[in-house]
């Protein structure tokens, strides 16, 4: 009874919500509540705990000597040259791999989109690297770059047969990036393929009729219409790349200054059992990932809701 | 009425299910008895498995669980279990350098009784254990593990290469001589210089050989005295710098490990190498005759020579590295008495001799050494060399913070091509101090 009276009135300027709609909202909230509680338990709790632990000098090997430090772990980390050096390397990994993957991934996406024959086979073979476990890919590329039994030295001109890729920072970083790019480009191309499929054929036809060249169609029609998809692809990959760990762990174990911020965190927490400092680094890693995400969203000026096609 | 039945039938189901589960649990216990888990590093696992079976009794079974390859990973895995007070970690193979850390954290059951007495008298020089091996299992005057096998490094070389260089190998040789001899005669020098534990083994041996220490007064924990910035530290840095810049350096020097240099002893071209490496090398080449990477024939194997670890400073006795495996008993085991009994059984003389004969892992007691010598499986002079090397060796710092010390040294001294005697020891001392005080990241 009350439902009819309320929904009938439009006195206030605000959109009027019917009791039915309210009840539905309440039901919806109740239905998602268990999931939210579960999420809080499994994600919020560890995060809060990490923040709590980061205020202590706390080593697992000497739990009784735990000492409250306040924010001094953060101060130590932020004033340490090693932290900034690893952050620099991590940013380098992220920028280079994402840029290369974007270009190659886009070419692959075009191939997958336009291919007429053996479509399934071509699409599958492009996706195979993504199905391989990163650790396995790391080992495979480590063998490939090894001067003892690898093929890379033999294939590349101007490089001696006994050139040790893992002996210095630059070649080691390149080797790690190659493995990373090889492994995750298919993911990028998959996301871009989804974006390509959204570009309307009518617009392309119209552009063609208007005499647009291939390059013009790409830059004036396809790319602008794919901005949301590109942003999602770049965002996902950049956040992933910022947390790079497996390839470094397998290929150099952090030697020759190749370690990323995740690796540094791993070493404090898992290898040295310094839970306090490790947690502080985890929090810093989390904050920097947030910052990267914010920058990318701002840079591409894309509404996330629009990217998800909610608008 | 209907409700009642359905309730009863549910109860029946529940009781039945419980009975089935309980029966399963009971039969699991009844038939096999409780299980003692023995975590082993992957050297000589087959022999460990055999002794796990032999040392199992009617009361309990010993089950072998594998640990990862690297010493650092082994420590990480065991420490994570023990930090969580895992009651299923009963027995473990421990690299000697981690005994102090584990004992200090309260993760190891103290060893008491005859074995502890024997260890203590051995340290004084009159017991059956080799002094170097016995030293590794004590922490703050208590015994926390039982030595199983004792490892050491010697200088392996091609006799033909030494002859060509005119190097007299019957007496002690120095690092300088070895590097020059290899460089001038198309040979190489094999070391372990990847960024990992064995690089610290090398650095520590050279520093101790020059009469110094990386750190001393280690029982002070984080307040230990950092001594790496010394003449001994600079001597070690000079040797590394010399090798890294010499023709004798192997191309993979910066990532070399115990395995990578093995293949350079019998290369397809070149004169072979001088290599510092652990005791497993002898059995490795003996078993690899005619196989890729091994000696091409018997004569080539006969060309393999061995000598005491090179001196850092001429005239000053070298301090060969000490490694091996000690057996520790988890502090949280549910069966401490059985675990102690089992630990004694798996470190028996019989087991030690078998590890030496089948796996090339040398014993920790004099009596086991005598038995190995009597078997005729090893050249006598090699056994004597092993034994004196362990007895007179230079252990790595015994500290509850050893893992930190080791990582900090690796960070400053790696890659070996960047080592500079004028700055590396000084910088690494400062860094080590900062790390111990929690002022720097590792």
pLDDT per position as a tens digit, A173-221: 999 999 999 999 999 999 999 999 988 899 999 999 999 999 999 999 9
Please answer whether residues B351 and B359 qualify as being in contact, where contact means their C-beta atoms are separated by less than 8 angstroms.
no
Which residue is closest to B221 within chain A, CA to CA? A62
Q: Do the Cβ atoms of A167 and B407 come within 8 Å? A: no
Name the nearest CA neighbour of B352 among B373, B335, B329: B373
For residue B22, pLDDT over 60 is answered with: no
Q: What pLDDT, on the 0 to 100 scale, is given for residue B300?
A: 92
Q: What is the arithmetic mean of pLDDT over B275-304?
A: 91
Closest partner residue to B105 (CB to CB) among A61, A82, A167 is A61
Which residue is closest to B406 within chain A, CA to CA? A272
Q: Does A254 touch chain B (CB under 8 A)?
A: yes
Q: What pLDDT, on the 0 to 100 scale, is given for residue B7?
A: 44
Q: What pLDDT, on the 0 to 100 scale, is given for residue A198?
A: 87
Name the nearest CA neighbour of B141 among B96, B102, B111: B111
Q: What pLDDT, on the 0 to 100 scale, is given for residue A307?
A: 52
Q: Does A75 touch chain B (CB under 8 A)?
A: no
Return mean pLDDT, chain B: 89
Residues of chain B positioned with their CB less than 8 A from the CB of A273 = 79, 83
For residue A66, pLDDT over 90 is answered with: no
Give the model confidence (pLDDT) of B221-241 as tens digits: 888 899 999 999 999 999 999
Q: b/e per residue, B153-175, with b = 16+ CB within 10 A?
A: bbbbbbeebbebbebebeebbbb
Q: Do the Cβ atoms of B83 and A60 come within 8 Å? A: yes
Q: What pLDDT, on the 0 to 100 scale, is given for residue B351?
A: 92
Q: Does A77 touch chain B (CB under 8 A)?
A: yes
Which tokens belong to B139? 């922490």
Complex-level ipTM beyond the 0.95 threshold: no
Residues of chain A positioned with their CB less than 8 A from the CB of B255 = 164, 166-167, 255
**Domain B152-320+397-436 is of which CATH architecture?**
3-Layer(aba) Sandwich (3.40)
Which residue is closest to B415 within chain A, CA to CA? A256
Rounded Cα–Cα distance for residues A180 and A289 (Å): 18
Q: Does A83 touch chain B (CB under 8 A)?
A: yes
- State how far residue A117 is from chain B, nearest Cα, in angstroms: 47
Read off the pLDDT band of A308 (50, 70, 90).
low
Q: What pLDDT, on the 0 to 100 scale, is given for residue A12?
A: 55
What topology is assigned to A81-307 in CATH? MetI-like fold (1.10.3720)
For residue B165, pLDDT over 70 is answered with: yes
- State how far residue A19 is from chain B, nearest Cα, in angstroms: 40
Rounded Cα–Cα distance for residues A44 and B261 (Å): 49
Q: Do the Cβ atoms of B415 and A255 come within 8 Å? A: yes
Q: What is the arithmetic mean of pLDDT over B46-64?
A: 92
Residues of chain B positioned with their CB less than 8 A from the CB of A76 = 438-441
In 10 A of CB A81, how many CB atoms?
Answer: 9
The gap between the terminal CA atoms of chain B, to the nearest Å, is 72
Is residue B156 classed as helix, strand or coil in its secondary structure? strand
- State how far residue B415 is from chain A, nearest Cα, in angstroms: 7
Q: Do the Cβ atoms of B83 and A264 come within 8 Å? A: no
Name the nearest CA neighbour of B329 among B115, B16, B44: B115
Read off the pLDDT band of A160 (50, 70, 90).
confident
| CATH tag, B35-151+322-391 | 3.40.190.10
Which residue is closest to B75 within chain A, CA to CA? A271
Read off the pLDDT band of A248 (50, 70, 90).
very high
| DSSP assignment of B70-138 | SHHHHHHHHHHHHHTT-TT--EEEE-GGGHHHHHHTT-BPPP-SHHHHHHHHHHHT-SSB-HHHHHTTE
Q: Does A139 touch chain B (CB under 8 A)?
A: no
Q: What pLDDT, on the 0 to 100 scale, is given for residue B403?
A: 87
Q: What pLDDT, on the 0 to 100 scale, is given for residue B159?
A: 95
Q: Do the Cβ atoms of B255 and A255 come within 8 Å? A: yes
Q: Does A224 touch chain B (CB under 8 A)?
A: no
**Residue A124: strand pairing partners:** none
Closest partner residue to B441 (CB to CB) among A80, A147, A166 is A80
Name the nearest CA neighbour of B327 among B52, B61, B68, B33: B52
Give the model confidence (pLDDT) of B369-394 as tens digits: 999 999 988 999 999 999 999 988 99
Give the model confidence (pLDDT) of B74-118 as tens digits: 999 999 899 889 999 999 999 999 999 899 889 999 999 899 999
For residue B8, pLDDT over 50 is answered with: no
Which residue is closest to A162 within chain B, CA to CA? B251
- CA A33-A35-A38 angle, to 5 degrees, is 110
List every span in chain B annotated with CATH 3.40.190.10. 35-151+322-391, 152-320+397-436
Read off the pLDDT band of A59 (50, 70, 90).
confident
Q: How many residues does chain A have?
A: 311
Closest partner residue to A57 (CB to CB) among B196, B414, B438 is B438
For residue B12, pLDDT over 60 is answered with: no
Read off the pLDDT band of B32 (50, 70, 90).
low
Which tokens belong to A275? 């839970």
Phi/psi of residue B323, nearest 5 degrees: -135, -145
Rounded Cα–Cα distance for residues B301 and B294 (Å): 8
Q: Do the Cβ atoms of B194 and A255 come within 8 Å? A: yes
């Amino acid at each position: 009874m009350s439902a009819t009276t309320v929904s009938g009135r439009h006195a206030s300027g605000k959109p009027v919500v019917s009791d039915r709609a309210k009840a539905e909202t309440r039901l919806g909230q109740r239905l998602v509540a268990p999931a939210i509680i579960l999420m809080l338990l499994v994600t919020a709790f560890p995060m809060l705990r990490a923040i709590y632990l980061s205020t202590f000098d706390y080593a697992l090997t000497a739990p009784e000597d735990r000492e409250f430090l306040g924010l001094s772990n953060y101060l130590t980390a932020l004033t340490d040259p090693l932290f900034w050096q690893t952050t620099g390397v991590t940013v380098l990994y992220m920028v280079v791999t994402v840029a290369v993957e974007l270009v190659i991934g886009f070419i692959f996406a075009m191939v997958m989109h336009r291919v007429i024959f053996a479509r399934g086979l071509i699409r599958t073979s492009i996706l195979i690297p993504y199905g391989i476990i990163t650790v396995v890919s790391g080992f495979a590329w480590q063998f490939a770059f090894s001067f003892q039994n690898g093929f890379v030295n033999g294939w590349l001109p101007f490089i001696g047969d006994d050139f040790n890729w893992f002996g210095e920072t630059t070649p080691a970083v390149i080797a790690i990036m190659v493995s990373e790019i090889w492994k995750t480009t298919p993911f990028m191309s998959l996301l871009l393929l989804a974006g390509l499929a959204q570009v309307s054929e009518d617009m392309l036809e119209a552009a063609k009729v208007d005499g647009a060249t291939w390059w013009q169609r790409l830059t004036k029609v396809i790319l602008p219409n794919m901005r949301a998809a590109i942003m999602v692809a770049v965002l996902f990959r950049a956040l992933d790349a910022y947390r790079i760990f497996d390839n470094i762990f397998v290929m150099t174990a952090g030697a020759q200054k190749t370690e990323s911020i995740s690796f540094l965190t791993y070493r404090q927490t898992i290898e040295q059992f310094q839970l306090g400092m490790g947690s502080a680094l985890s929090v810093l890693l989390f904050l920097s990932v947030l910052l990267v995400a914010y920058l990318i969203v701002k840079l591409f000026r894309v509404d996330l809701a629009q990217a998800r096609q909610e608008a | 009425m209907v409700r009642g039945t359905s309730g009863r039938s549910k109860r029946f189901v529940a009781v039945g299910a419980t009975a089935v589960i309980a029966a399963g649990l009971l039969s699991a216990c009844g038939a096999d008895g409780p299980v003692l888990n023995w975590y082993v590093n992957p050297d000589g696992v087959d022999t460990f498995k055999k002794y796990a079976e032999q040392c199992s009794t009617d009361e309990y079974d010993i089950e072998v669980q594998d640990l990862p390859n690297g010493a650092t990973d082994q420590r990480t895995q065991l420490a994570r279990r023990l930090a969580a007070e895992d009651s299923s970690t009963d027995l473990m193979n421990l690299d000697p350098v981690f005994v102090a850390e584990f004992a200090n954290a309260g993760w190891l059951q103290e060893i008491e009784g005859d074995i502890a007495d024997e260890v203590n008298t051995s340290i004084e020089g009159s017991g059956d254990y080799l002094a170097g091996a016995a030293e590794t299992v004590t922490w703050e005057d208590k015994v926390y593990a039982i030595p199983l096998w004792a490892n050491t490094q010697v200088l392996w070389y091609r006799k033909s290469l030494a002859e060509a260089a005119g190097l007299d190998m019957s007496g002690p040789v120095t690092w300088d001589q070895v590097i020059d001899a290899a460089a001038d005669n198309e040979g190489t020098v094999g070391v372990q210089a990847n960024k990992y534990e064995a690089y610290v083994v090398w650095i520590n041996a050279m520093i101790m050989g020059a009469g110094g220490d990386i750190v001393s007064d280690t029982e002070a924990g984080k307040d230990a005295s950092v001594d790496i910035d010394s003449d001994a530290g600079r001597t070690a840095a000079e040797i590394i710098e010399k090798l890294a810049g010499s023709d004798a350096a192997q191309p993979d020097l910066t990532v070399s490990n115990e395995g990578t240099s093995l293949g350079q002893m019998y290369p397809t071209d070149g004169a072979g190498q001088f290599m510092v490496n652990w005791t497993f090398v002898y059995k490795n080449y003996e078993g690899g005759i005619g196989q890729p990477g091994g000696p091409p024939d018997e004569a080539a194997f006969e060309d393999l020579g061995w000598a005491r670890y090179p001196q850092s400073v001429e005239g000053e006795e070298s301090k060969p590295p000490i490694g091996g495996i000690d057996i520790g008993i988890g502090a949280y085991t549910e069966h401490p008495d059985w675990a102690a009994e089992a630990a004694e059984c798996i470190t028996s003389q019989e087991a030690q001799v078998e590890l030496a004969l089948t796996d090339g892992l040398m014993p920790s007691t004099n009596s086991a050494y005598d038995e190995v010598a009597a078997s005729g499986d090893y050249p006598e002079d090699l056994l004597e060399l092993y034994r004196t090397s362990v007895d007179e060796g230079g252990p790595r710092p015994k500290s509850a913070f050893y893992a930190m010390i080791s990582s900090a040294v690796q960070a400053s001294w790696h890659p070996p091509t960047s080592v500079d005697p004028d700055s590396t020891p000084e910088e690494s001392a400062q860094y080590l101090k900062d790390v111990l005080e929690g002022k720097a990241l590792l």
